[in-house]
Each structure stands twice: as C-alpha cells, then as structure tokens.
Structure 1
Amino acid sequence: MPREAEISVNERAFIQEALQEKIRLDGRAFDAFRPLTLTFGDEYGVADVQLGKTRVIARISVEVTAPLPERKFDGIFQIVTEFSPMASPAFEVGRPTDAEVILSRILEKAIRRSNALDTESLCIIAGLKCFALRADVHIIDHDGGLIDASCIAVMAALQHFRRPDVVVEGEKATILSAREREPIPLSILHQPLCVTFSYFEEGEIFLVDADLAEEQVRQAELIITMNQHGELCQIAKYGGATVDPLAIVSCTTVALQKVKELTKFIQSRLEEDAKRRNVGGFMAELSAENAR
C-alpha cells in the first residue's frame, strides 16, 4: 500500500533538538500560522485555501430533494472529503487512509454537528421538498495542517455560497434562476474553526500549524474547535502521549486568539470579493454599450 515517505532519523533528531532550543525550521514562533491565502472562484461557493504549501479547495453544491423522514422540517447538509493522489503518495483513490477518516470525522463534528449551518432554512415544503447542500473538500497539496486548512475552506465556502430563491404555491415549488431573482446567502449560525496543536517532549512543547515534517515527529495532536465568541465546539486528541489539563486550558486561550484572527481574515476576503462582484451591478450590465 502506498505511504508517505518517512522522515530520516537524522532529520527527526535535528527537529527535536531545534524545538528544545525554541527554534522551528521555518523560523516561525511556536504559536504562528504559516502564510494563509484565500481566494474565491467565479461561481459562488468555491473557496481555495493555501496554508503554506498545503492547498485545499472546498466547493458547495445544492439540489432539491425530499427531506429525511425523521427530519421533515430540515434540509440536508453533508461534507465529503477527497484526497487527490497528486497531493501525497500516501493517498489512493478508493482506499481512505487514517488521515482521511480523521479529517472527515473532525469536520463532521466541528461544522455539521455544531449546527454552524441552519438546516431549517433549507426546508422548502415540510416533509416533501428541501435543499440538499453538499460540501466537497479536495486536498490538492499536502504539507501538514490539513484539518485547519479544510475547516477554513469549508466555512469560507459556506459563507460565500448563494442558494437559488424559490416560490412555493401549495405543494408546488418553483426554483428561480439568478436572472429571475438574486440568490440568497445561507443562514450561518456561528463560524467554528479548528486550531491544531502538535506536542512534543511529553507535552512540554506545543506547536500551532505543524508542517508535514513536524507532524511526522510529533508525539500526538490536540484539535480545538471554537468560534470567535469563545464557545468551545470540540476537543479531539489523537496520539499516545498524555496532555496536562492546564496545558489544554492554555491551548484554548491561544486557539481563541487564532480563531478571532482567522474569522476577521475570512470576513475581509468575503468583503473584497463582494466589492469585486458588485462593480457596476446588474443595472450596469443592462445599460452596457454594444462592443461594436
């Protein structure tokens, strides 16, 4: 089975000794993220996130379907992850790795189960028709930090997406095109984001946003999901080393600061994209002169 190229013994020792001297290989502080870029596609609901050399693309799609029998007043929302073989030799189509299972589980708990999206707003006719929303997460390049980058991509894509408006007459629902009526943004109740802490030396050293080399050396990871209001949505720990409770409290403080910064960054990029799309507006399109 294909797998990631393992780090050498010398590289492992070098990274560990550098961390003991309070030095990261790329010169970052222990609580610093790598350079983050966020761009949106021409269509609504496409977010391209680059965190260092890691790249994740999230795409939101929607269709009309029947709601689940046990949830007649709710729409449907699901998150699907796809690991491209070109991102890492460890990824193979049709054979999910542990990393893919963990990522799917974390995103499910962080976004869907925390009710970040108001699924009741996706209901069209109770028990008959609803919007089924799907978030596809594509891993394009893998250099560590997949969970944090994927969560940023999904939340940014959800806030960027616009669903079509609908007219309901009795049990008949008519979906309107963008030309007929302006699409509607989704109802986002809160904006949870993940911050992953990698720890070394039996929990004495914690790093934010570890790259792939640091991930291969770490003893375990601690994933904290919060929103900008300080509400804790999830804490997940993977790995064998134990974590001191006071260290977890310290990590939540750092995570809150990072979540506030990331939320502000996403909002600024959304505003920039909105300004870019609204240049001239629809009236300018109607009054545009002939190119001849």
Structure 2
Amino acid sequence: MNLNPLSDCEKGFVLEAASQKTRLDGRKRNDYRSLKIEFGLDWGSCLVSLGSTRVFAQVSCEIYQPNNSRPNEGVLQISAELVGDNKLADLTKINQVLERFYKDSKCIDLEALCIVAEEKVWKIKVDLSVLNMDGNTLGCCSISTLAALMHFRYPDVVSTGEKVIIFSSSERDPIPLSLHHYPVVTSFAIFEKNDFIILDPSFLEEKVCDSKLSICFNNHRELCGVDIEGCACLSQELLMNCSNQASIVAIALVDKIKSKIKDDLEKRFKKLMQGLEPKIADESDLKLPEKLEIIGPKNVEIEKEEIEEKMEVEQNVVKVAVDTTIATCRESIKKISVLKDSIPNDLVIIDTESSESTESDEDDVEVVKQYNLTDSRPVIGKYVVSDGEESDTIVLD
C-alpha cells in the first residue's frame, strides 16, 4: 500500500510516458487489469482483486426502525475503511460516491425490506475493507459492493401482528436481495496537456493525472452517476467517448460477477466450498519454516528434550556380520571376537558402564543384550566396528 508522496522524478517519468501515449505497466489506454472475484463461506462475503488493489466486502443485516420520511422502506448503508493504522488515505469520498450511486439509482428494492410499516424494516449494511490501494480504489470498491449484494441472502421473516418470527437457514432458505439493476463504476485518468485518457489508472497515474473521471453505468447501459475530480476541462465529445466505453465495461463486469455467483452456488449445492482462506494462502509468498527456532535464553528442560530428541533421530543401524569384532571405547576396551570356523547364533554386546572392574577379563563382563547376526540393531553409545586387526576402525556416534 503506497501512500507516500511522489518524488519529482516519478512524476516526470509518468508524464513523459503519457506524452508518448505509453503506460508504465505495458497496458494499452483501454486495457483493464486482471480481475479476481472470490466468495467466502458466509453469504455476502466477497474478496475482489483488481491488479494489486484488493477490497474485501461483507454484507450484514439487522432489524431497524425506518425513517419517518420513508416508513415503508428499508435502509442501505455503505461504509469503506482502510485496514491498518495509516490515516493518510481518506475514504470519505468513496463512501459518499458509492452511497450516491447505489441509493440514487434505486438499484435495490427497499420496499421489499419492510417487515412492519413504520415499525420494523431490514437495514442492509455493506462494510468495505480496503486491503491494498494501487489505483482505481473506487472501481474496485464498486465491484466488491455489487458482488456482495448479489451474493447476499437475508433470513425469512413472518409477522403475525403481535410478534415477528425470524426463521433460521435450517428452517427456511434465506432470501436474496431484490435488485432492479446492477450499477458498476468505471474510472478514467485524464492527462489534458497530452490529450491522453486511460482506463483503470494505477496509483502513479492517479497521482500525476490532471483529472479523474468516474462514470457509473448498469447492465442496461443506463447512466447512474458521474463524479469528476480535478481541474481538467472536459468537453462533450470526451464525456461521450468515456461514457460509451464505461457502458461496455459495465456489461462485461456484470456478466463476470453473475458467472462467479453461479459457480459459487453450484459449489454450495455440491458442498465443495472452501472459503477465502485457501485462496489467500495460495497467493501469499510468505511461508513459515518447518521448524521454528526459539530466540532467547533456553532453560535446562528444553535443552534436555532437544538432546534426547537428537539422539533418537541420529541413531545409526549397524548390520552385524561374520568376522566382525565389536568393542566399546570408553574407560577400557573389551572385545568379543566372532569365531571364523563356526557362526554363532547370537552375538553379545558389552555394556562398560555396568562393569565394576576396568581390567577384568571378557568372562567378567556383564551381558546386556543378545542380537542375532542377521538382525539390524540401533547403536546406543559409541562403538568401534572393524573387520580385523589390520582394517581401519570406524567410530559410530
């Protein structure tokens, strides 16, 4: 999220590219960035990624007392906020523009949200969380708002006159919102001196351009609102060209949202929903190591556990064969040689710690365990394995 002011070099670089009718990311003037729409497990939860700009939308509902001026209509509220403690980005303008475009265009049938006239209505609230700002934040918020509203379902309600009964999703299927049309905001950046107008501007292009133009069209190619920010002089011909292009973009975006919602409903019917967590994990480059190291002082218990675990993991397995001599190499060396003429069934392993005398003969050595020659055994302690007196000695830890 780049909220720092631009340097003169950055501004000059973007303006030089605009004078040559070129965009820094290689797109043409009418190209849109890649759009990803993902729905969560809850109704009305949606994550929209427009390039690097990401907005999460969540629609909720509650029973509310209607306004005195409109006692038979529900309430629609849209609120956008920036995630984190950074207060440099003011999203008040986005809240005002979205509420004006969606409320004034009457895209939602608010009368269908009435439960009891003058007493109880549904209040629909759209909470937008801007996760990253990389240009065209208003357009990304508009797409996430429309997708969340189309995806949202609210509980079925019955009024008996005396009381209001709200049914859960297990008792009755939730009801989708009644939408008359589907408005979408399309943003343009205008470089007046260079006579250069671009669609879906990036963060750098928005900061350097002379004016920003936002046009809201629905899927019926009906104009729902216009917002102009900047000092550029916009001619009638320019507005008409941008409007025609915005209407085409709006139809394509609405079709994509409908297709995504259809796929989501099919997954819900087949119970294949995974939510947003796997999608975010796939896109994230942050990976935790398999083993986390503890930073700071270690106590004795932790060190003891680590040593025991290391010994268990690093145990070697030795195959005992004929003509092999095994001896312990601690205080004294005690050997048991395997006879060459005959192959014994068992081989005795010596434990030096259990022996009382360090100079005792082989007969005085205490027998700890017996292993068959053909078995593989773990080595506990330190042993010397050799095939003969003249061969090299191998030390196994």
The TM-score normalised by the length of structure 2 is 0.66
Instruction: Determine if the alignment matches structure 1 residue 25 to structure 2 residue 24.
Output: yes
In the TM superposition, residue 8 of structure 1 has moved relative to its aligned partner by 1.8
In the TM superposition, residue 167 of structure 1 has moved relative to its aligned partner by 1.5
Correspondence for 1:114 among 97, 105, 123 = 105
Match of 1:277 in 2: 268
Q: Secondary structure at the match of 1:139?
A: strand
In the TM superposition, residue 202 of structure 1 has moved relative to its aligned partner by 3.6
In the TM superposition, residue 242 of structure 1 has moved relative to its aligned partner by 1.0
CA contact (8 A) 1:202 1:241 kept: no
Q: Where do residues 49-198 of structure 1 align in structure 2 (5 Å cutoff)?
A: 49-85=48-84, 90-91=88-89, 97=90, 100-198=91-189
Instruction: Determine if the alignment matches structure 1 residue 231 to structure 2 residue 231.
Output: no
Percent identity of paired positions between Structure 1 and Structure 2: 34
Match of 2:258 in 1: 267
Instruction: Determine if the alignment matches structure 1 residue 254 to structure 2 residue 254.
Output: no
CA contact (8 A) 1:117 1:189 kept: yes
The answer to which of 146-155 and 112-121 deviates more is 112-121
CA contact (8 A) 1:202 1:242 kept: no
In 2, Cα distance between the equivalents of 1:132 and 1:105? 18
Q: Secondary structure at the match of 1:177?
A: coil
In 2, Cα distance between the equivalents of 1:22 and 1:4? 26
In 2, Cα distance between the equivalents of 1:208 and 1:168? 49
In 1, Cα distance between the equivalents of 2:9 and 2:128? 35
In the TM superposition, residue 280 of structure 1 has moved relative to its aligned partner by 6.0
CA contact (8 A) 1:144 1:209 kept: yes
* Structure 1: 4+ residue segments shifted above 6 A: none
Please list every run of 5 or more consecutive structure 1 residues that lacks an aligned counterpart in the other structure: 92-96, 282-292
CA contact (8 A) 1:117 1:188 kept: yes
In 1, Cα distance between the equivalents of 2:87 and 2:167? 44
In 2, Cα distance between the equivalents of 1:85 and 1:12? 27
Match of 2:204 in 1: 213
In 1, Cα distance between the equivalents of 2:195 and 2:162? 61
Larger Rg: 2
Q: Secondary structure at the match of 2:118?
A: coil
CA contact (8 A) 1:61 1:134 kept: yes
Q: Secondary structure at the match of 2:99?
A: helix
CA contact (8 A) 1:160 1:270 kept: yes
In 2, Cα distance between the equivalents of 1:123 and 1:142? 37
* CA displacement, residues 156-180 of structure 1 (integer Å, 9 cap, x when unaligned): 0000000000112124210000000
Match of 1:48 in 2: 47
In the TM superposition, residue 203 of structure 1 has moved relative to its aligned partner by 7.1
In 1, Cα distance between the equivalents of 2:100 and 2:29? 26
CA contact (8 A) 2:19 2:194 kept: no
In the TM superposition, residue 212 of structure 1 has moved relative to its aligned partner by 0.5
In 1, Cα distance between the equivalents of 2:132 and 2:31? 20
Q: Say if 1:168 and 1:234 are closer, same or farther in 2 by CA, change over 3 A.
A: same
CA contact (8 A) 1:165 1:176 kept: yes
In 2, Cα distance between the equivalents of 1:171 and 1:29? 62
Look up the equivalent residue of 1:201 and give its one-letter code: E
* CA displacement, residues 49-95 of structure 1 (integer Å, 9 cap, x when unaligned): 11111110111000112211221111111111111236x6624xxxx
* CA displacement, residues 197-222 of structure 1 (integer Å, 9 cap, x when unaligned): 11003471111111101111101111
In 2, Cα distance between the equivalents of 1:250 and 1:7? 30
Match of 2:378 in 1: none
Q: Secondary structure at the match of 2:10?
A: helix
Q: Secondary structure at the match of 1:242?
A: coil
CA contact (8 A) 1:121 1:187 kept: yes
How many residues align? The count is 271
Q: Secondary structure at the match of 1:68?
A: coil
Match of 2:275 in 1: none
In 2, Cα distance between the equivalents of 1:16 and 1:46? 39
In 1, Cα distance between the equivalents of 2:54 and 2:267? 23
In 1, Cα distance between the equivalents of 2:115 and 2:87? 44
In 1, Cα distance between the equivalents of 2:162 and 2:49? 44
Look up the equivalent residue of 2:173 and give its one-letter code: E
